[in-house]
Structure 1
Amino acid sequence: MNNFRQYWQSFKEYLQIEKNASPYTIKYYMQDLEVFFSFLHTEGLTRFCDVDERIVRVFLNTLYDQRLSRKSVSRKISALRTFYKYLEREDVVDVNPFSAIRLPKTESKIPGFLYEKELEKLFEVSDLTQPLGQRNQALIELLYATGIRVSECRQLILDNIDFYIGTVFVQGKGRKERYIPYGKFAEIALETYIQDGRKALLAKSNQQTNALFLNNRGVPLTDRGIRDILNKMVKDAALTVHVHPHKLRHTFATHLLNEGADLRSVQELLGHENLSTTQIYTHVTKDHLRRVYMRSHPRAND
């Protein structure tokens, strides 16, 4: 169909090279294209220019019939809008049929986060006399201290940690780079792990690697490996809440804002391109509201 594979591949290269899109964005955009072209094949359409707003709305109806979430539908519209914009630039089509389609409003969910007492339990479960315990402690301290994404954490190498000024160098989405400071607890945990536990884990492998976090075989941790470690720590801490790496990121942002950090600074630390993305963290906890009330209201205390 109109050299589908040719344009599928060239669009993928466009996302990688010109847009500097993250691997996850590219992965899901290409999956969305596959879904769309399967739909066009079913409808008997053989050219990109055959697609108009009516066809687009039929496609959207098929998505809603599959009971997809509004977030999933929005992502597919965004992917296809970007694809047709690319086709316009390449003079394959004259009109982008997705340009006038409004994205469905998504549910505004408040991010889940952990309270300080819940965090304390996680910080106390690791056996710091063992290499894996030292690694786990360094991992959770760094995730909470910096708010980095699990993909960013997995990519860290030894040279990314600057103990002299207490920062970690992170390459985020779209290859955007940033430096994030970390505190004393993370510093101690990282130094202990790098000087002791990491060396013991590396000795189990025949290969050399600069990756910061290693698994029990001495090779670099994967995203799934990091999640499995957190799940085990939660189980060991007997917590009833579900904890994933992104919840630690939510917790990092929430705690900073609750303690008076300004929104722009938190945006920089999180690596968000738009301030609106950071604003979802401006909710406050009941404990914080109570502290503000007790500190500020004239009749709150004797």
Structure 2
Amino acid sequence: MSSQNLVPFRSDSPDFNYLKWIQDLVPAQFSVAHLTADPRGVYSYPPCQLHFCPRISQDPATRLCRIHNDERRAKKLELEQFVKINNDKKQETTKLRISSVSVRGIFDFGAVSHPTVRAELAFGMSKRANPENGFGPARPAAFNRLVAEINKTHIISLLELEPEDIGDLADQCGSYYDSAKGIINETINQIKIARGEPEARRRIGARYNGASVYTTYQNIKQSWLRELVGRWATFRYNTSGNSTLYLQAQQTAMVEFAEWCEQKSVRSPEDLTRGLLLDWLGHVNSLQNPRTGKHLSASWRLKLVSAVESFVEVLRSEFNYPIPTNARYRPGELPQREEPRPRFLEPHIIDALRKPENLALIENRAHRLAVRIMMGTGIRAGHTCNLPFDCLKDLNRNGSSDKWALAFLDTKSNSNRMLPLPPDLAQDILSFQNEQRTLLGGDAPEFLFFSPRAYKIGRLTVERLNTTIHEWVARLGLRETDGSPAVVTPHRFRHTFATENLEKGVPIEIVQELLGHRNLTSTQIYAHVSNKRLREEWEKAQLLDVRGESIAISDGPEGDAEWLLHRIARATQALPNGYCGLPIQQSCPHEHACLNDCVHFMTSRDFLPVLIQQRDNHARLISKAEANGHLRIVQINKKPMETLNRIIGKIEEEGNAESQ
């Protein structure tokens, strides 16, 4: 988006020499026949740090090539020790043959047949050396393979290549397809920028995974509208605090608007009337999702309409174009966003995902740990991937071992936060940290989920984590309640975490703090859903009293009152084997005597395992007391055991009836 100091492009001059123009743009460092790997690791992966090795390193942590890194691990040597031993040796350096095959650490510009293509590729590589361009390092082997394939085409400029030609060239490069295609496209685009061509795309930022975000307004066909949208996009980029992805989405909305304007014979800013804006609103409201056939959501429609509204307003107020003052939307005309609804995972799905044998199906340990952290803490996927290596904090004092916290930077609120961790999850993180240190020769990386393959950002990406979860859930064959394949995303772990904590009776203010919500309103959405779901389950459950008889649930206001009493009882009188129906205003005079004909006790099938365990415990106590002649103990335990047998029998009887 920023201007660049460029040599003027004068193709209209009879004396203009394109080859000399492009050569003048190439820095001296890149005007060579054989370009070595970049020690900084910017335009290429850095060379192996063993001085005699011509290979490149793809591991930022060790700066060793794959062969020497494997050798170091096999010998179980620390990194510094391994490098010192090898660099101190009097190595007989092999005479290097400069070719596209024998030397992987050299960009062989000298092998390019045509001087113009050579200069273009050198210019593109020099632009890759600027980190702000966001290209990332190139592989010499991919570059040299591409050169060999370009030579076969006998082209005299990369600008001759059509998109299908670029695809064919990349195909010929085999496993280097993506790298080769990227080198060509990025080089051509940088030449277009240097030539001042309006259809050249500009980089405006990066995604979570480090991938570049580019402008899209260059795809607008109408030159007058493309120029205005470009000015508006630059204004928005410089003045708004929105993310680059949001700004890109706004530009994409303007591209759609431009295509629609072509059919409406819109020729100038003066044609941007209120009537046109209302027509655009009606068009957007009629759009359908081509995949589902349903109308676009209100959120999508609002994005398409608000981008145009912003564009028109900036043209009028900032650039002083004579656009009618009434060319704006009035209150109530814009699509209204739907209330956000939590998409928690159904109990049978989240229970299945938490099973150790199912978690073990995620082969990559880093991915498996990331999933466990999201399920256990409710933090966002982006924050999980960005966890620092030293994120685990030991809060144990005076011999305790179960107090741990997870420390991280919440980029949404720009604050440092700490969340409590279950002890087993903390131990898993601790074990993973030790494993990572061993793999890296004792050094600690910057990120917990360090990934040398993600060279631009050096860590696990949200996109890769999403892919892992999608493949894992598909392998498990899980399905939603309606029978459709289960859709599991990192954010659904967060929704489930919030809903479950509220259902357990955790105060909403605590859940708000756990989620990092600045506004309690955001957390209240989960509270509404959890209350509704709990009541539905309560109404479906067959409640039994202490005599094993069914408890009828009232309808209407009486049912509402019973439900309130039930929720209060769950919060104030926690029982392992059921619920207490005693009103909150009264205190229990018979604490721990619920099974001795207490009229307030109620239970359901959900507590069957606990009820059976309690009955067995009473049976063992009675048997032991009878053997020792302790008749008082027998008498105390006999009544609860009879109650438990009665309730268990009733539950099992109803279960058998349902299964028949």
**TM-score band, normalised by shorter chain:** 0.7 to 0.9
The 5-angstrom pairing of residues 217-236 of structure 1 reads 220-236=459-475
Residue 449 of structure 2 corresponds to residue 213 of structure 1? yes
Q: Distance in 1 between matches of 2:368 and 2:252?
A: 37
Residue 419 of structure 2 corresponds to 181
| Separation (CA, whole Å) in 1 of partners of 2:232 and 2:269 | 12
Residues 1:284 and 2:505 aligned together: no
Q: Which residue of 1 aligns with 2:374?
A: 143
For 1:155 and 1:71, locate their aligned partners in 2 and report how far apart those are by CA, in whole Å.
Answer: 28
- Tell me the residue number matched to 1:157: 388
Whole-Å separation in 2 of the counterparts to 1:88 and 1:145: 51
Post-superposition offset of 1:58? 0.5
Counterparts of 1:288 and 1:171, CA distance in 2? 31
Percent identity over the alignment is 22
2:82 maps to none
Describe the superposition over 1:121-144 as per-residue Cα deviations: whole angstroms up to 9, x where unpaired: 32312349x9x5532332112212
* Correspondent of 1:97 among 321, 324, 328: 328
The 3 A distance-change label for structure 1 pair 288 and 101 is closer
**1:146·1:180 contact (CA, 8 Å) conserved in 2?**
no
Q: How big is the alpha-carbon RMSD for the aligned residues of Structure 1 and Structure 2?
A: 3.7
Q: From 253, 272, 289, give the equivalent of 1:51.
A: 272
Change over 3 Å in CA distance of 1:233–1:52 after alignment to 2: same
1:39-118 alignment runs, 5 A limit: 39-48=260-269, 50-67=271-288, 68-87=296-315, 90-92=318-320, 95=325, 97-98=328-329, 100=331, 102-108=333-339, 110-115=341-346, 118=349
1:9 Cα deviation (Å)? 3.2
Work out the CA distance in 1 between the residues paired with 2:515 and 2:310: 25
Q: Which residue number corresponds to residue 196 of structure 1?
A: 435
Matches within 5 A, 1:220-299: 220-240=459-479, 241-272=486-517, 274-282=519-527, 283-284=529-530, 288-289=534-535, 290=538, 292=567, 295=579, 297-298=581-582
1:170 matched to 2:409: yes
Query: Number of matched residues?
Result: 290
Structure 1 distance, partners of 2:509, 2:317, is: 35
SS at match of 2:601: coil
The two structures have a TM-score, normalised by structure 2, of 0.38
Shift of 1:230: 1.4
Q: Which amino acid aligns with 1:211?
A: F
Matched residues in 1 for 2:335 and 2:470: separation? 34
Q: Deviations over 1:29-78 (max 9, x none)?
A: 22222222333344333444542332111112222332223221022233
Aligned counterparts of 1:275 and 1:187: Cα–Cα separation in 2: 29
Computing the radius of gyration from Cα coordinates, the structure with the larger value is 2
In structure 1, the gaps of 5 or more residues are none
CA distance in 1, matches of 2:270, 2:331: 16
Structure with more relative contact order (C-alpha pairs < 8 Å, separation 6 or more): 1
Q: Which of 237, 240, 254 is the equivalent residue of 1:13? A: 237
- Aligned in 2, Cα 1:56/1:287: closer, same or farther, shift over 3 Å? closer
**Matched position secondary structure for 1:64:** helix
Deviation at 1:247, TM superposition (A): 0.7
Aligned in 2, Cα 1:251/1:79: closer, same or farther, shift over 3 Å? farther
- Call closer, same or farther: CA 1:255–1:6 in 2, change over 3 Å: same
1: CA distance, partners of 2:352 / 2:437: 24
CA contact under 8 A between 2:383 and 2:408: conserved in structure 1? no
* Secondary structure class of the residue paired with 1:158: coil
Identify the range of structure 1 (32-41 vs 290-299) with the bigger mean alpha-carbon deviation: 290-299
Counterpart residue identity of residue 53, structure 1 = R
Gaps of 5+ in 2: 1-223, 289-295, 396-404, 480-485, 539-565, 571-577, 583-598, 603-660
Using the TM superposition, give the Cα deviation of residue 112 of structure 1 relative to its aligned residue in structure 2, in angstroms: 2.3
